[in-house]
Amino acid sequence: MRIKLVHHKYDIVIVGAGGAGLMAALRARQNGFSVAVLSKVHPTKSHTVAAQGGINAALGNIEPDDWQWHMYDTIKGSDWLADQDAVEYMCKNAAESVLNLAELGVAFSRTSDGKLYQRLYGGQSTEFGKGKLAYRACASSDQTGNAIITTLYNKTKDIKADFFSYHFVYDLILKDNQCIGVASWSVENGNIHIFSANQVIIATGGYGQIYSTTTAANICTGDGNALCAMAGIPLQDMEFVQFHPTALPKTGILISEAARAEGAHLVNALGERFMSKYSPQFQDLACRDVVARAIATEIAEGRGVENNHVWLCLKHLSKSLIKERLPNLFENTKEFLKLDPSKDLIPVAPAAHYTMGGIPTNIHGVVVPGLMAIGEAACVSVHGANRLGCNSLLDIIVFAESAIKYCSENIAPGQKKQDIDYDIFKIEDLLNKNGEFNPQDIKIELQLIMQENVGMFRTKKNLESSLKKLQDIINKQFIISDKSLIWNSELLEALETKNLAIQALITCYAALKREESRGAHFRVDFPVRDDENWLKHSLVYMDQDFNLTYKTKAVQFTPLTVDSIKLEERKY
């Protein structure tokens, strides 16, 4: 088979076309850079569209608020593993970023006097945790991610960023510890494209598909993380995976936290509102890891319904309010359950939702010279051991803008790019191998291992057993009977499954190493937080033979301009 090689040169190449990638592309074009946006799906199908509840900013449109209160809540939510300089940067810039989105045309919900509507959200308070719950989440009903991505895509297309959809980036091209480009496979026409760039920005999202029950779409295979791991770049804090408290059982279909923000509450099989036992102050709006473990505990102790869920009650809310503020929830419960949330209890259970770990960066997104990472693929770290609800959309906007600001200060539009002499053996080698295993079967096996043993509750015995199984999986060779490169779904699934295997192995290894419980990482055999030994980030390196090396680095406790948020017991 003859493979056609196509060469390109751009100032900035962005891998991923979700909210982070599109915001970076928009700002890069506005700064005069030539921009290529590579995505394995059409941009409007990126996973950002699934973000429902809102985007945080201390605007104070409903009740008084302050960005430093937001900063405190974010660090407390992270169980003190977030870097405080990065958290300050994000929270301090939140208001400007959200107002900029509104100016771009994002259709935020509004109050009667025309201000951006803001709702309560889990783990958010006033007066540094001593006051009332905070109205901080700006929302477009419960379709906020879709509103943002639609606006950004249209704006970016209008100012002529070049989009390469249905491109799977399978190789980072590095020279002398500097990234000079990427190689992508055009699934649509079978060509291999070589992109030479002054700056490559990874914005490929998370790796939630390592679990069998997840709110993450099928495309969430963490391809950028795996690229970096195989290039010798460590991945940081991969043991921290957030389980969303409320998804439809076994399906992973998300029931947004916005429901509880609008007044819904959880009840067990006995009809008890149980969250006051686990969170006396915040109750149903405690941080996600607290609520998810509470639900799992109720089920494990026999107070669940059918031993696999609890109920979410919205029956005290009017149908008109639900349809206005929670249209996704209304349609999903009607479509998938044939239920009316204004009349019926909704079954919910935790599902893997967000991956706090990823490619380590500074607040400008820099990984190594020529390479940046932003969004869920990156670990800045503003989320630490557990992400505060509605900080994910904020993260992608603020740090995308920060990355392009850094680019504008360090490279010039039209600056000379390096010529790349590229060997296409990596794709040819994969197509020509005679494997024995079906990628789909391996993916299912991997997901079940992670779901059962590296989920919300972890033990040394289960982690060690899972690690051995994952080490076996990662060395398996896949059957690829289709030897073409045009819409080769077998090859695509093989590449994605290999990427998932890399991240599952690293996640399990990091979880085994961290002998404490912090945020979303709960070790049954080490059930308390251990600040003396484990107040530090994990770094896992992988070599070409999938051997792992574990290191740590200090958490940044010094903010940019304000006083540090001191360690305290994390209570809600």
pLDDT at position 161 is: 95
With contact defined as beta carbons under 8 Å apart, do 393 and 145 qualify?
A: yes
Q: Hey, is 280 helix, strand or coil?
A: coil
With contact defined as beta carbons under 8 Å apart, do 548 and 506 qualify?
A: yes
Q: What are the tens digits of pLDDT across the range 174-219?
A: 999 899 999 999 999 999 999 999 999 999 999 999 999 999 999 9
pLDDT at position 2 is: 75
**Token code pair at residue 304:** 């669940």
Q: What is the C-alpha to C-alpha distance for residues 236 and 233, in angstroms, rounded to an integer?
A: 10
With contact defined as beta carbons under 8 Å apart, do 144 and 118 qualify?
A: no
- 242 - beta bridge partners? 354
3-state percent breakdown (helix, strand, coil) of the chain, nearest 5: 35, 25, 40
Mean pLDDT value of segment 20-27: 98
- How far is residue 520 from each of residues 9, 239, 287, 355, 455, measured CA to CA in Å? 42, 9, 10, 10, 9
- How far is residue 62 from each of residues 107, 120, 203, 484, measured CA to CA in Å? 18, 10, 33, 57
With contact defined as beta carbons under 8 Å apart, do 106 and 76 qualify?
A: no
With contact defined as beta carbons under 8 Å apart, do 38 and 65 qualify?
A: no
Side-chain half-sphere exposure of 531, counting CA atoms within 13 A: 9
Indicate the length of the chain as a whole number. 572
Q: Is the pLDDT of residue 1 over 70?
A: no
Q: What is the C-alpha to C-alpha distance for residues 567 and 547, in angstroms, rounded to an integer?
A: 35
Find the catalytic residue in 119, 288, 293, 325: 288
381 prior amide bond cis, ω within 30: yes
pLDDT at position 251 is: 87
With contact defined as beta carbons under 8 Å apart, do 58 and 65 qualify?
A: yes
Q: What is the C-alpha to C-alpha distance for residues 490 and 419, in angstroms, rounded to an integer?
A: 32
Q: What is the C-alpha to C-alpha distance for residues 534 and 79, in angstroms, rounded to an integer?
A: 12
More confident site: 24 or 429 = 24
Q: What are the tens digits of pLDDT across the range 427-468?
A: 777 777 778 899 999 999 999 999 999 999 999 999 999 999
Share of the chain above pLDDT 70, in %: 99
Query: Within 10 Å of residue 535's Cβ, how many Cβ atoms?
Result: 18
Let me know if 288 is a catalytic residue.
Answer: yes
Q: What is the C-alpha to C-alpha distance for residues 394 and 388, in angstroms, rounded to an integer?
A: 11
Q: What are the tens digits of pLDDT across the range 463-511?
A: 999 999 999 999 999 999 998 999 999 999 999 999 999 999 999 999 9
pLDDT at position 425 is: 65
Q: Is the pLDDT of residue 18 over 90?
A: yes
Q: Is the pLDDT of residue 424 over 80?
A: no
